[in-house]
């Protein structure tokens, strides 16, 4: 499953640079699939969704840092544990029960975004 940032976030910014998938954004910032990945143009994600990787999307949260579920792999393929949760001083990076994925699905997602390894 993806990790989600709760409203307890104090906007310290410690997690953002730690994310290997560039899945974390500051509140009120736009996000895109292309940021920090190899994705470009019209693509079909491993979950079957067709998206424009270059398009800027509205922020998921306007007040605190947020995680884009489609880009979060729980750090699978890069690290043993979620790096955002490891550095967060208030422990507000928690599993998102609404976005449940298997380890294989997470690894497939990671390879899709970073095929160069």
Where along the sequence are the contacts to ligand SF4 (CB under 6 A)? Answer: 3, 5, 9-15, 18-19, 21, 23-24, 65, 67, 72-75, 82-84, 87-88, 90, 92-93
CB-nearer residue toward ligand SF4: 12 or 42: 12
CB-nearer residue toward ligand SF4: 23 or 39: 23
CA neighbor of 37 nearest in space, from 53, 48, 51, 49: 53
| Nearest distance in Å: CB 7, ligand SF4 | 10
CA dist 103 and 105 (Å) reads: 5
Q: How many C-beta atoms lie closer than 10 Å to residue 54's C-beta?
A: 14
């Amino acid at each position: 499953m993806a990790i989600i940032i709760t409203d307890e976030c104090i906007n310290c910014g410690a997690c953002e640079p730690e994310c290997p998938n560039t899945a974390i954004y500051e509140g009120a910032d736009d996000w895109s699939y292309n940021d920090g990945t190899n994705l470009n143009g019209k693509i079909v994600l491993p979950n079957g969704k067709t998206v424009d990787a270059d398009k800027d999307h509205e922020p998921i949260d306007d007040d605190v840092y947020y995680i884009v579920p489609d880009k979060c792999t729980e750090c699978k393929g890069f690290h043993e544990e979620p790096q955002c949760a490891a550095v967060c001083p208030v422990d507000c990076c928690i599993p998102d029960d609404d976005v449940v994925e298997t380890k294989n699905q997470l690894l497939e997602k990671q390879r899709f975004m970073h095929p160069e390894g």
